[in-house]
Amino acid sequence: MRPWTNRTVILAVIGMTLLVLGVAAMFLWPVLFNHILSQELPITPTSRVLDLWRSTGDKIPLNMEFYFFNWTNPEELKIPGKKPNLVEVGPYTFIHKTEKVNITFHPENGTVSYFVRKYWYFDPHKSNGTLNDTLVQLNVLAVAAANKVRYWDEFYQSTVSIILGQVSSIHIVKTVDEMMFTGFKDQLIDLGKLAMDTEDMHIPAYDRFGWFYLRNGSTFFDGHYNVATGEDDIANLGIMKKWNYTDVTDYYKSPCNVVEGSAGEFFPPGRDTDDITAFAADLCRPMIYEYVGKATHHGITGYKYELGEKSLGNSSFRRYPHSAAKYFERTTTTEDFFHADYSTKKSAAGYSDPDVVDMGKCYCNGECSPVGVINITACRYGAPGFISLPHFHKADPILREQVNGLNPNEKDHSFYYLLEPNTGVPIDVAARLQVNILLQPYDFVTLFRDVPKIYFPCFWFSMRAGTTEDLASSLRMLLLVPSIGLYSSIIVAIVGGIVLLILAVIQYSQKGRSHPKNSKLKRHGWVSNNDSKEKRSEHVYMDTTTTPDDNERTDRQLYPTLN
């Protein structure tokens, strides 16, 4: 005998369907969400964020703050026991805008190419000082000239020494504007032009020097970008494929010369706690940011990645499979790659991994520097430029002890990306770097004969960028989608489960009663003092015991509550 009615069957089917759907949705929802992301995030001509990507600054105002180190005792440089006194002045704040020009989409290989044009507008209200403030700084041109001739013949060095002694001193007094955008004339520039190597001929015809001279409004300095749009594979979103038309640079030895990492704006969705990499065109190299923990910005929780040991150190080991060599263009020969300084460092298991490279060595490019400074001499046409975090934060303490006036702290001087992990969207970015010049003794150049060796801080900048409250609230909505999906799936599954459970309980209780032997006992147990309940049980009892065949059962009342 089968105590089933059509209604039971329908309910059972509904319950089962809900349960299956709910459970399936629990697993499928993330897939669906990822599908939505892979449709929405890529950089395409019709992308919703295209305008924002094309030109930042109109919608998201970026402030770039510059701080200079004013050298107040240059006359004491050669006195033993005296350190340079540096007084931080600023901020000199600029509104910073970037726009991408000559944007060309290449659907055939899933990339987009463009140049970047940058603008700076001085903002006197947010500045502590004016562009006419005077600064005393190390004479970068003289240091660069001395550095350039140091491997020349002694005779030529002496000649340069005489010229330097006549036209230069070790420090310069210039206004902030001259040091940055307007630039200043100097006889050394003309001299330098004569000494310039032919390979440097592609640089603009400098007639003045300034850290940002000719940079305002120019597309020259950042070079040509070729970036994956993420259309083919969302895991490639925003990844640099080529820089200046090649996937390797001339500035470092293999494999440190590889163009890789994000172009800095987009990161593929689904972030984990692995390091992230972003290519820094100003430094001609990728930089690694290490996961440090979670943080919240505008109510959104993100993963925080900071510039640390792996980029700042002088020996950071990294797995770099030999097989990767085949992806490099012919400018880096595979041979070159195999000559890379592979580590002899033993792994935990006790054998050395042939694919582990000491990245510190290939970035040293000659003489190594202490932890905390990055040698960009090669990227700056031979001027001994070194990049660090402001105030030598996270650097070898020796560096800041060489001068007076540096006080690093994590809050003001770290460089980090805060990424929303599901979408990979940067919600808060603090880009901060300091520019230093290596001052060191040059025996044949009188001006520099007895100087101490100092990584001399010149200036640093800080740029905070992040989602506005507007963007943050759209992002929060988007992020609710997976949670809403998950919770609704769970609710659907639970409803289905409850329906099935109720059916099961009822079936079970009726099965017991349908047995003639047990029926009396069961009935006693079922019947309560409550009248309606008694009535209900009667019905059920009747229903199960008096339905001998299927045809009759169809119009029976299963649920007493429906009476």
Ligand X SMILES: *[C@@H]1O[C@H](CO)[C@@H](O)[C@H](O)[C@H]1NC(C)=O
- Which of 161, 229, 249, 314 forms a contact with ligand X (CB under 6 A)? 314
The one segment of 128-136, 283-291, 348-356, 502-510 that binds ligand X by CB under 6 A: 128-136
- Asked if 361 contacts 320 with a C-beta cutoff of 8 angstroms, the reply is no
- Which of 127, 226, 316, 547 forms a contact with ligand X (CB under 6 A)? 226
Using the rule CB under 6 A, is 369 a contact of ligand X? yes
Using the rule CB under 6 A, is 109 a contact of ligand X? yes
- Does the N-terminal peptide bond of residue 255 adopt cis geometry, omega within 30 degrees of 0? yes
CA distances, 114 to each of 54, 136, 263 (Å): 10, 38, 11
Using the rule CB under 6 A, is 181 a contact of ligand X? yes
- Which of 8, 63, 72, 244 forms a contact with ligand X (CB under 6 A)? 72
- Which of 93, 161, 311, 375 forms a contact with ligand X (CB under 6 A)? 375
- In the DSSP assignment, the letter for residue 298 is T
- In the DSSP assignment, the letter for residue 122 is E
Q: How far is the CB of 488 from ligand X (least distance, A)?
A: 41
Using the rule CB under 6 A, is 216 a contact of ligand X? yes
How much of the chain is in helix, strand and coil states, percent to nearest 5?
35, 25, 35
Q: How far is the CB of 305 from ligand X (least distance, A)?
A: 23
Count of C-beta atoms within a 10 Å radius of residue 548? 9
Segments in 437-468 forming alpha helices (H): none
Using the rule CB under 6 A, is 469 a contact of ligand X? no
| Residue closer to ligand X, measured from CB, 141 or 399 | 399
What backbone phi and psi angles, to 5 degrees, belong to 159?
Answer: -60, -50
- Which of 111, 254, 257, 422 forms a contact with ligand X (CB under 6 A)? 111
| Residue closer to ligand X, measured from CB, 66 or 417 | 66
Using the rule CB under 6 A, is 53 a contact of ligand X? no
- Which of 128, 296, 407, 554 forms a contact with ligand X (CB under 6 A)? 128
| Residue closer to ligand X, measured from CB, 236 or 423 | 236
Using the rule CB under 6 A, is 241 a contact of ligand X? yes
Using the rule CB under 6 A, is 219 a contact of ligand X? no
List Cβ neighbours of 512 (8 Å cut-off, separation of 6 or more): 518, 522
| Residue closer to ligand X, measured from CB, 37 or 112 | 112
| Residue closer to ligand X, measured from CB, 458 or 492 | 458
DSSP 148-170: HTTTS-HHHHHHHHHHHHHH--S
The one segment of 2-10, 130-138, 345-353, 498-506 that binds ligand X by CB under 6 A: 130-138
Q: How far is the CB of 330 from ligand X (least distance, A)?
A: 14
The one segment of 283-291, 303-311, 375-383, 411-419 that binds ligand X by CB under 6 A: 375-383
- Which of 44, 55, 70, 404 forms a contact with ligand X (CB under 6 A)? 70
- Which of 133, 260, 341, 534 forms a contact with ligand X (CB under 6 A)? 133
The one segment of 55-63, 114-122, 279-287, 424-432 that binds ligand X by CB under 6 A: 114-122
Q: How far is the CB of 453 from ligand X (least distance, A)?
A: 9
Interacting positions 399-418 with ligand X (CB under 6 A): none
The one segment of 39-47, 230-238, 372-380, 422-430 that binds ligand X by CB under 6 A: 372-380
307 forms beta bridges with: 289
Give me 180's structure tokens.
């940055």
Segments in 447-545 forming alpha helices (H): 469-514, 516-526, 531-545
- Which of 129, 210, 270, 485 forms a contact with ligand X (CB under 6 A)? 129
| Residue closer to ligand X, measured from CB, 29 or 66 | 66
Using the rule CB under 6 A, is 217 a contact of ligand X? yes
Per-residue binder mask for ligand X (CB under 6 A), 470-509, x = binder: ----------------------------------------
Give me 354's structure tokens.
């042939």
List Cβ neighbours of 52 (8 Å cut-off, separation of 6 or more): 59, 60
Q: What angle in degrees, to the nearest 10, is found between the helix axes of 140-148 and 187-195?
A: 20
Looking up tokens 């990161």 gives 267
- The 3-state DSSP class for residue 72 equals coil
Q: Greatest CA span in the chain, whole angstroms?
A: 122
| Residue closer to ligand X, measured from CB, 386 or 541 | 386
Using the rule CB under 6 A, is 115 a contact of ligand X? no
Strand pairing of 240-243 and 276-280? unpaired
Q: What's the full length of the chain, in residues?
A: 563
- Which of 2, 59, 121, 319 forms a contact with ligand X (CB under 6 A)? 121
- In the DSSP assignment, the letter for residue 113 is E
Give me 438's structure tokens.
């290596």
Looking up tokens 């449709």 gives 39
- Which of 144, 149, 234, 371 forms a contact with ligand X (CB under 6 A)? 371
- Which of 59, 106, 126, 193 forms a contact with ligand X (CB under 6 A)? 106
Using the rule CB under 6 A, is 452 a contact of ligand X? no
Size of the site for ligand X (CB under 6 A): 36
- Which of 66, 67, 120, 320 forms a contact with ligand X (CB under 6 A)? 120
Segments in 275-373 forming alpha helices (H): 309-312, 334-338, 359-364
Q: How far is the CB of 37 from ligand X (least distance, A)?
A: 23
Radius of gyration of the chain (CA): 35
Beta strands of 75-198 (E only): which ranges?
86-106, 111-122, 134-138, 171-175
Using the rule CB under 6 A, is 85 a contact of ligand X? no
Closest to 285 (Cα-Cα) out of 380, 220, 357 = 380
Segments in 313-391 forming alpha helices (H): 334-338, 359-364
240 forms beta bridges with: 227
Distance separating alpha carbons of residues 181 and 176, to the nearest angstrom: 9
Distance separating alpha carbons of residues 387 and 488, to the nearest angstrom: 51
Give the residue nearest to ligand X (CB): 366
Using the rule CB under 6 A, is 89 a contact of ligand X? yes
Residues that bind ligand X in the complex, under the rule CB under 6 A: 70, 72, 89, 106, 109, 111, 119-122, 128-129, 133-136, 181, 216-217, 226, 241-242, 314, 365-371, 375, 377-378, 384, 396, 438
